[in-house]
Every structure is written in structure tokens, then in C-alpha cells.
Amino acid sequence: MNRSPRVRMLASVRSAEEALFALQAGADLIDAKEPFDGVLGAVPPEVLRAIVSAVGGRRPVSATVGDLPLEPKRLLPAIQGNAECGADIVKIGLFEQPFVAGGLRTLAAATAVPLVAVLFADRSPPRHSAIELAAAGWHGVMLDTADKGAGSLRDWTDEVWLAEFVNEARAAGLLVGLAGSLREDDVRPLAALGPDYLGFRGALCAGSD
């Protein structure tokens, strides 16, 4: 995926029907995720295959592996399963801190599918993580929130911190995204920081993840 000056929209969906709605709404990246099964709940394989089929190559599809610890022996089968279902990108939550650099490198080296790390603003994410992720061979990094009922990304971070996060990720050559209960009035100030993607779900549907 080549970067463009325009900030693109990542839309999290939990079904093929939602994927089609997201396409019609102009989403640039379809993100398969089950919000009722954890922070980064994974959709079942048959649902992921249906989402990939519905998108039909018109946009890239990302998928999550669930709320798993950073253990290659547990993550690699989940990553491979997502890839076999047609996911173009696999998102992995980095819940433990500090990260184990060896684990990051092992995961990136063992799979051909691009890996995107997800950090959580409401769980005190470490600074300068982009440098470590890039050195380990990861494709990108997203900053999200774990507790969707406790405020949006901008409630947990200030503009200076967010700008540093985006700039460091870009300088490291990583794809960078921002998400976390974003609302319409978040778009302009966050887009001004220059991320590749802004992620949405709650703002696109009646419910909220």
C-alpha cells in the first residue's frame, strides 16, 4: 500500500454486510474485528473469508488475532490462519510492556503477511516504540484505545504526544494509524498530524465497539 497525502479511512467491520456498507461509505481499508470478543477480538475464519469475498480485492482487508500475549507459538498459527483466509494485513495488540524485541523479530521473520502493532493510549503505551517495531521488521503501528467507554483517543492523549507518535512512526518507515472512539470533530485535528489512516467503527454504525 503506497502512502498518499490524503488521510485514509480504516473501517472496522464484523460481517460481510458491514464490509459492503463500509465500502459504500468510502472506506480505504476494511478491518475485520469482533468488538464483542475482546479489545481486538478476532472474527471466525468463515466470517473473515466472507468479508474478503465481499470486498473482492477492491480494498485491502486487515484482520486481528484476538487478545493474545506476545508469544510466537500462540500468535503464529493465528497469523497464518488470517493469511490463509485472505487477509492482506494482520493487526496484533501489544498488551505487555516492555515488549520483547526477540518476539517481535520472530513474528515478522516467520510470516510473509505484513504485521501492524496496535498500542493503547489508555494503557500507558511506551514512547519510541516505532523505532523498535521498524527494526524488528513490522509494517506499521496504530494507536487505539482499549476501553471504548472511557473516552476517545484525544481524551487520553494531547496533540504534542500524538504528533510525536506519528512523526516517529513515519521517520521509521512505518504505516501509522490513529483510532479509538473517534468522532466527526476528531477528524480535522487528527488528519492534520499526518497519519496514513484514521480508524472508525462506532461513528459508522448505530452501536459502538
Among the listed residues 8, 14, 23, 33, the single catalytic one is: 33
Query: With helix as H, strand as E and coil as C, how does the chain read?
Result: CCCCCCCEEEEEECCHHHHHHHHHCCCCEEEECCCCCCCCCCCCHHHHHHHHHHHCCCCCEEEECCCCCCCHHHHHHHHHHHHHCCCCEEEEECCCCCCCHHHHHHHHHHCCCCEEEEEEHHHCCCCCHHHHHHHCCCCEEEEECCCCCCCCHHHHCCHHHHHHHHHHHHHCCCEEEECCCCCHHHHHHHHCCCCCEEEECHHHCCCCC
Q: Is the dihedral of CA 15, 18, 19, 20 positive or negative?
A: positive
Whether 148 is a known active-site residue: answer no
Among the listed residues 8, 59, 91, 139, the single catalytic one is: 91
> Which residues sit opposite 152 in a β-bridge?
none
Whether 91 is a known active-site residue: answer yes
Q: Which residues are catalytic?
A: 33, 91
